[in-house]
Structure 1
Amino acid sequence: MNILMNVLLVDDEPLSRNELEYLLKQNSAIDQIYQAEGIGDGLQLLLKNQIELLFLDIELNEENGFSLAKELQQLAQPPLVIFATAYDNYAVDAFNINAIDYVLKPFEQKRINQAVAKATALLADKSTDQTVTTAAYPTVITVTQEEKTTVLPVKEIISAAVNNGVLTITTANGDFSTHETLNWLKQRLDPQKFIQVHRSVLVNLNCIREVQPWFNHTYQLTMTNQQKLPVGRSFVKELRQQLQM
């Protein structure tokens, strides 16, 4: 499947935007490229155009790129986000809000191509998911860490949580960690069986043992392995619908 992406670059430095645009134009997966120097201009472009991929700087004059990334989560079809910055100390925060990659300045063609390839693969998966039936979801997933690949039966997954940029998948046979995102896992699981209950937590509905009221009108889940997991306020409604509470 050929994926062509419209890309938005948000950076307050014109030279950085132009350098990144030049490198992106060398990639055959890129269609249109838009530029913005701040959050306001970026939002306008996002609302007026179909943007699949966003390269976002973090320190934008008096603004912060994380503010835009969080606003995007309210969109029905938010773009994939790649942070492109001169600072390496924001990586954990970036992956905690489901950024798919984190690219450091000065940009290099090989590194930009790797980031685009990751976005292309995610979009291809999403497109496929929209056209297949529930039966087509995989029965196993593979997790690779330190050159070791583990095959996990999906039915054994109890939960998954992101902490400090590391995705930990909890199964009946132990925990398995990877630097993939929670969204990467979510796209591979049947949404009728697995739901997100917190910005960093995904659970197997069949493995919920108890639902207890918690602070601020939220809930705490007790899983079949006695694991305690929080339910974020914005995910309460979907959980109640799924469990017919």
Structure 2
Amino acid sequence: MKVLIVDDEPLARDELEYLLKQNQLIAQVSQAESVAQAIGVLLSETIDLIFLDISLNNENGFELADKLHQLAVPPLVVFATAYDNYAVRAFNINAVDYVLKPFEQQRINQALAKADQLLQTRQAEATPKQMEAVHDSGMISITEDEKTRVLKQADIIVCYVENGELMLTTQTGKFHAHHTLSWLMERLPEDKFMQIHRSIVVKVSAISEVEPWFNHTYQITLINGEKVPVSRSFVKQMKQRLNM
């Protein structure tokens, strides 16, 4: 089981991680101190269960819980908090359990056992289409100015590396991503995106025009008017994809 701890207190995160790792059900534990960090982890890793605090500096754990439905397969949630007056609200949003601080090993084990049973049931009932959704959530996480933006893959027009930074142009604007181009390509569907340069990937359906350029290269005009080069090493692949 892969677990994410979301808590703004480092000591509380470390204590809970230690207790979790004493249980044989645990395969991986990640940490986040804010809603933005948590979303970044959720969109870059497969998380089965979140241990979620309610008070997160100026944020509320329920804010993250409300966003989980945007994921193809939302992780289960155990609220892990010092507050005992939010239990009803937590169970109203289908929380697996509600664990109070200070944490105890037996109580953590009980929560993990409940989560494991639910995960096994979910896996047994999952349809092929749902399993495909696990592999491809259709979303990309972009961190910019300490905020995490969640972008739809369908909105992406072109991705490129500029001055060492990964940039994404979408239908609504341009965004920075703190990842590599290869990381992004692993998460984009191959049938919808195409690499045309060692530092450029375009959405095939966003291509408007293709014209010869110089030294046996080509230039592509995208639906937003942006022009991008096709390097010689990717010309053959481009022609095959576009039936040229």
TM-score (norm 1): 0.51
Q: Which residue of 1 aligns with 2:5?
A: 9
Residue 43 of structure 1: how far off its partner (Å): 0.4
Q: Which residue of 1 aligns with 2:70?
A: 74
Residue 131 of structure 1: how far off its partner (Å): 6.9
Match of 2:49 among 42, 53, 74: 53
Deviation string, structure 1 residues 174-215 (Cα, Å, up to 9, x no partner): xxxxxxxxxxxxxxxxxxxxxxxxxxxxxxxxxxxxxxxxxx
Residue 125 (1) aligns with residue 112 (2): no
The residue matched to 2:112 in structure 1 has which SS? helix
The residue matched to 1:103 in structure 2 has which SS? strand
Residue 95 (1) aligns with residue 101 (2): no
Residue 75 of structure 1: how far off its partner (Å): 1.3
Mapped to 1, the partners of 2:106 and 2:79 lie a distance apart of 16
Mapped to 2, the partners of 1:127 and 1:116 lie a distance apart of 16
Structure 1: which 4+ aligned runs deviate by more than 4 Å? none
The residue matched to 2:113 in structure 1 has which SS? helix
Query: Compared with structure 1, are the counterparts of its residues 119 and 22 closer, same or farther at alpha carbon in structure 2 (3 Å cutoff)?
Result: same
Mapped to 1, the partners of 2:50 and 2:33 lie a distance apart of 13
Question: 2:71 is matched by which residue type in structure 1?
Answer: L
Larger-Rg structure: 2
Residue 29 (1) aligns with residue 51 (2): no
Mapped to 2, the partners of 1:121 and 1:112 lie a distance apart of 14
Residue 129 of structure 1: how far off its partner (Å): 1.6
Q: Equivalences for 1:99-110 in 2 at 5 Å?
A: 99-110=95-106
Residue 130 of structure 1: how far off its partner (Å): 2.7
Q: Which residue of 1 aligns with 2:181?
A: none
The residue matched to 1:55 in structure 2 has which SS? strand
Mapped to 2, the partners of 1:96 and 1:131 lie a distance apart of 26
Q: Which residue of 2 aligns with 1:236?
A: none
Mapped to 1, the partners of 2:56 and 2:5 lie a distance apart of 12
Deviation string, structure 1 residues 141-166 (Cα, Å, up to 9, x no partner): xxxxxxxxxxxxxxxxxxxxxxxxxx
The residue matched to 1:30 in structure 2 has which SS? coil
Match of 2:110 among 97, 114, 122: 114
Query: Compared with structure 1, are the counterparts of its residues 69 and 131 closer, same or farther at alpha carbon in structure 2 (3 Å cutoff)?
Result: closer
Question: 2:48 is matched by which residue type in structure 1?
Answer: E
Deviation string, structure 1 residues 58-78 (Cα, Å, up to 9, x no partner): 010000000000000121100
Mapped to 2, the partners of 1:49 and 1:8 lie a distance apart of 10
The residue matched to 1:8 in structure 2 has which SS? strand
Deviation string, structure 1 residues 31-80 (Cα, Å, up to 9, x no partner): 11000111000100000000000000001000000000000012110000
Mapped to 2, the partners of 1:104 and 1:64 lie a distance apart of 16
Q: Which residue of 1 aligns with 2:16?
A: 20
Mapped to 2, the partners of 1:125 and 1:87 lie a distance apart of 30
The residue matched to 1:50 in structure 2 has which SS? coil
Residue 42 (1) aligns with residue 38 (2): yes
Gaps of 5+ in 2: 129-244
Mapped to 2, the partners of 1:112 and 1:40 lie a distance apart of 25
The residue matched to 2:77 in structure 1 has which SS? strand
Deviation string, structure 1 residues 93-146 (Cα, Å, up to 9, x no partner): 1011111110000000000000000000001111122379xxxxxxxxxxxxxx
